[in-house]
Amino acid sequence: MGRRRGPVPPRGRARDAALACAVLLVVAASSVGSLVGDRAEPWGVTALGWALIAATCGALYLTPRHPVAVGSLVLVLTFGYYVLSAYDGALMIALTVALYQVAAAGRLQAAVALGALTVIGTGAGTLLGNRDVNSVALFMLSGWVVAMVALGWVRHSRLAYLREAERRAAGEERLRIARELHDVVGHHISLINVQAGTALHRFHRDPANGEAALAAIKESSREALRELRATLGVLRQADEEAPTAPAPGLDRIGELVAPARSAGLTVHVSVGDAADPPAEVGLAAYRIVQESLTNVVRHAAAREVTVNVAPGRGELLVEVADDGRGPAAAGGAPGSGVGGMRERARALGGELTAGGRPGGGYLVRARLPYRNEAPL
């Protein structure tokens, strides 16, 4: 059974209408004295005062879309009401709400200017003989104005921070997906390219070897399609079922050997007995070995490569060494794919180095801690 959800608050224009109606109800309740009891003003002036109340509160509905214009209008209508009406209703509430919305829309200078005009206008009315507002009330009004403008600006800043955090999270997710696609598709497409060249070269001279290369191409393309579908599963909608296939780990490193051997490499693999490393460590080790073998096939012109995965004290050590010339010597981008491998290692709090070996060849060495110690 799912959790029972509470009432969902209105959003968008429904929220704006609800706010305007709520303010109107409060102001109307505070101004009901103008309709009962002894008359302090003609009925025509009272009707005009209620029209000003309705117009002021109704204008709040448009504040999120036109904050400065509506805030200025609310200020003028509020002052007009207090100058005209003999009854002291609580229409100032609508003005303070408008100031909050102007600041929440990011128009801080306009909100400060409108707030200053509010305090100055009220103070001027007091000096001209308005006995309904004394110095204490003016001080309290100033506090309310400052508080509402400050709260509105805090809300604007918080929403801006959340939008920026969401944008960064989306960017990091795109980078992660791009890295996964690079590791999966790049590895298999590189092998397919090498195997296709081998098949084309051998087909007429040695049909048997050419047929074997074509079979390897078929297997690599099928594996590429399977892993591509699994990787793209993270882009599915939230209401779809989660993938059930486990992420590749140490137990599948051996699967990377056959395609590399079909490309003409002699591959030696040693995977130590690691006692159930965390899934993210196993996946990182698998991807590092996969990318390293891809680089060997594409750039190194090597004949032999050694893969060694061994557990250490609270960490996993990964080494991939070949006897080739390395990516830089092959004319490709130095360290092709090394940046992505380094990011994987750093994400786990580890490190990865890659470079030439003394006496020739290329070595990729990674240290992957079981416990993430990456700085926040």
pLDDT of the residue at 73? 92
Domain of 270: which CATH number? 3.30.565.10
Domain count, the chain: 2
> What are the DSSP calls for 12-50, one per residue?
HHHHHHHHHHHHHHHHHHHTGGGTSSS-SS-HHHHHHHH
Domain boundary among 80, 110, 133: 133
Residue 159 lies inside a defined structural domain of this protein: no
Residue 288 lies inside a defined structural domain of this protein: yes
Residue 173 lies inside a defined structural domain of this protein: no
User: In Å, how far are 192, 199, 200, 263 from 209, measured between CA atoms?
Assistant: 15, 7, 10, 12
Residue 179 lies inside a defined structural domain of this protein: no
pLDDT of the residue at 333? 42
Residue 249 lies inside a defined structural domain of this protein: no
CB 327 within 8 A of CB 300: yes
To the nearest 5 percent, what fractions of the chain are helix, strand and coil?
65, 10, 25
Domain boundary among 78, 104, 133: 133
CA 34 to chain centre: 53
Domain boundary among 86, 103, 133: 133
Residue 289 makes CB contacts below 8 A (sequence gap 6+) with 253, 256, 307, 309, 318, 320
pLDDT of the residue at 237? 43
Instruction: Identify any residues that bridge with 267 across adjacent strands, giving them in sequence order.
Output: 305
Residue 347 lies inside a defined structural domain of this protein: yes
For the full predicted model, state whether its pTM sits above 0.85.
no
Residue 310 lies inside a defined structural domain of this protein: yes
User: In Å, how far are 13, 212, 258 from 198, measured between CA atoms?
Assistant: 65, 10, 15
3-state SS class at 249: coil
pLDDT tens over the chain, length 376 residues: 444 555 555 667 888 888 889 988 998 888 888 788 777 778 888 889 899 989 989 988 988 888 899 899 999 998 888 888 777 778 888 889 999 999 998 888 998 998 889 888 877 766 665 556 666 777 788 888 888 889 989 988 888 888 888 888 877 777 777 776 766 666 667 777 776 776 666 666 666 666 666 777 777 776 666 666 666 655 554 444 544 556 677 888 888 887 788 777 888 888 877 667 888 888 888 889 988 888 888 777 788 899 999 888 888 999 999 988 765 544 444 445 788 888 888 888 899 999 888 878 899 999 999 875 544 4
Q: Supply the range of the domain harboring residue 68.
A: 12-133
User: How many other CB atoms are there within 10 angstroms of residue 204's CB atom?
Assistant: 8
Residue 164 lies inside a defined structural domain of this protein: no
pLDDT of the residue at 2? 45
